[in-house]
Amino acid sequence: MIARRIATLLAVLTVLTVGSLALAPSPAQAQTGGQVPGDSLGATSDSQFWREIRQGMPGQVSIPNARAGVLIQSEGDNWRAVRNGPLSVYGAWALLGAVVVLAAFFAIRGRIRIAHGPAGVTIERFKAVERFAHWLMAGSFIVLGITGLNILYGRYVLIPVIGPDAFAAITQFGKFAHNYLSFAFMAGLALAFVLWVGHNLPHRTDLMWMLKGGGILGSAHPPARKFNAGQKILFWLVMLGGLSVSLSGIALMFPFETAYFGKTFALLNVFGLQLPTDLTAMQEMQLNQVWHTAVAVFLIAVIIAHIYIGSLGMEGAFDAMGSGQVDLNWAREHHSLWVEEVEAREAGGGARRHSPAE
Ligand code: HEM
């Protein structure tokens, strides 16, 4: 009797167990059976849902700022890693490299002298408006460069020396200077472009000047017009680089208003590239920041070399942007064709020379 009851109980339990196992959803079904939180967003599993959130998939928010619908923006991690990693490291090497190369050049070549000695007679090289444009551009660029480098490297270089409070005060002041002086730089850049673009178009003499390496290592000076090929390269680097840092700087100053990269990538895709064109506003900002910094650091390295050659590196050069008058022998050695042009005009009553007594 008892044995029959136990057998019946076991049979019922067996049926219940087998039945519940057969009816219960598998783990995979549990994720796909309509219970997934991201279902409405098109996710087909929990893991896919969270992966997409992790990769910045936007959800819906009821406030006007649609960007707040992005819960996690993982490109931010990549951007920070690039900015604080290779961008900062290569930038530091480029700046340090420029200084080391110039110091080595100075040690080997010394100061480039006026080969025939000063003539004691000067010739007008740059008018007041040209010097104004140069110093507006140069003065603002130097402040922008220093305050910009402080934003990139200040925390590593200055905080250990002056402490966080002084660093915060300096950086806040520097940030205002950086924002406002950018407009002075853009004005100087535009004025210099208008004044000098005509003198910076390629000319056949540039080829010869470059083939002779600008005469920088020997004592012979290849003929050059108002600007030699090296100066023309500098001019176009400053103009194109300056325009580029200006545009990306404006994009950083007025955030989320531009789509430079999406549009540029669409243009480049014409050449068969497969660059993404549907960048989010946040990705646009990150690319602007990386681009702004990379171009600016490159330009600073170039300008360090320019400042060297325009002051310490070459006797007689600074006067061109100081008083605007250069020694005639300096002019004949470095810009012989230009002197001939000026002398031809002078014969027609155009330009004037000054003796030191004037
Ligand atoms: C203390 C800083 C600087 C010094 C001492 C300096 C010096 C000079 C000198 C002497 C010239 C005339 C060269 C000649 O007569 O052939 C010149 C030209 C020029 N400078 Fe500067 N400069 C400085 C900063 C800058 C900066 C920051 C920029 C751009 C952001 C710049 C851009 C130019 C350009 C485009 C030219 C015309 C092309 C050339 O001569 O190379 N300069 N500079």
285 in Cβ contact with 238 (< 8 Å): no
Which region among 21-25, 127-131, 300-304, 307-311 has the lowest average model confidence (pLDDT)?
21-25
pLDDT at 39 exceeding the cut of 80? no
Please give the share of the chain, as a percent, with pLDDT higher than 70: 84
CATH architecture under which domain 75-126+201-354 falls: Up-down Bundle (1.20)
User: What is the per-residue pLDDT for 38?
Assistant: 59
131 in ligand 1 pocket by Cβ < 6 Å? no
CA-CA distance, 125 to 35, in Å (whole number)? 79
Domain boundaries, the chain: 75-126+201-354
> Helix 281-310 vs helix 260-268: angle between axes, to the nearest 10 degrees?
90
- Name every residue whose Cβ is closer than 8 Å to that of residue 191 and which is 6 or more positions away in sequence: 129, 132, 133, 136, 137
125 in ligand 1 pocket by Cβ < 6 Å? yes
CA-CA distance, 36 to 350, in Å (whole number)? 84
User: What is the per-residue pLDDT for 26?
Assistant: 47
Q: How far is the CA of 94 from the centre of ligand 1 (A)?
A: 20
Q: What is the mean pLDDT of the chain?
A: 89
310 in ligand 1 pocket by Cβ < 6 Å? yes
Q: What is the DSSP track for 291-352?
A: HHHHHHHHHHHHHHHHHHHHTTTBTTTHHHHHTSEEEHHHHHHH-HHHHHHHHHHHHTT---
44 in ligand 1 pocket by Cβ < 6 Å? no
**What is the mean pLDDT of the segment spanning 81-93?**
98
User: What is the per-residue pLDDT for 56?
Assistant: 79
pLDDT, tens digit, 9 for 90 and up, residues 316-327: 999 999 999 999
User: What is the per-residue pLDDT for 194?
Assistant: 98
* Residue 34 DSSP symbol: S
Extract the tokens encoding 198.
């005509």
**What is the mean pLDDT of the segment spanning 165-172?**
98
**Residue from 306, 318, 332 to probe ligand 1 pocket by mutation (most atoms less than 8 Å from CB):** 306
Strands of the chain (E only): list them: 122-124, 325-327, 353-354
User: What is the per-residue pLDDT for 221?
Assistant: 86
Could you count the other beta carbons within 10 Å of the beta carbon of residue 7? 10
**Residue from 194, 295, 321, 328 to probe ligand 1 pocket by mutation (most atoms less than 8 Å from CB):** 321
User: Using CA positions, which residue lies closest to atom 34 of ligand 1?
Assistant: 235
pLDDT at 176 exceeding the cut of 80? yes
pLDDT at 10 exceeding the cut of 80? no
224 in ligand 1 pocket by Cβ < 6 Å? no
**What is the mean pLDDT of the segment spanning 160-171?**
98
Over the range 112-140, which residues count as b (16 or more CB within 10 Å of their CB) and which as e? bebeeeebeebbbbbeeebbebbebbbeb
User: What is the per-residue pLDDT for 344?
Assistant: 94
User: Using CA positions, which residue lies closest to atom 15 of ligand 1?
Assistant: 320
User: What is the per-residue pLDDT for 29?
Assistant: 46
User: What is the per-residue pLDDT for 217?
Assistant: 64
309 in ligand 1 pocket by Cβ < 6 Å? no
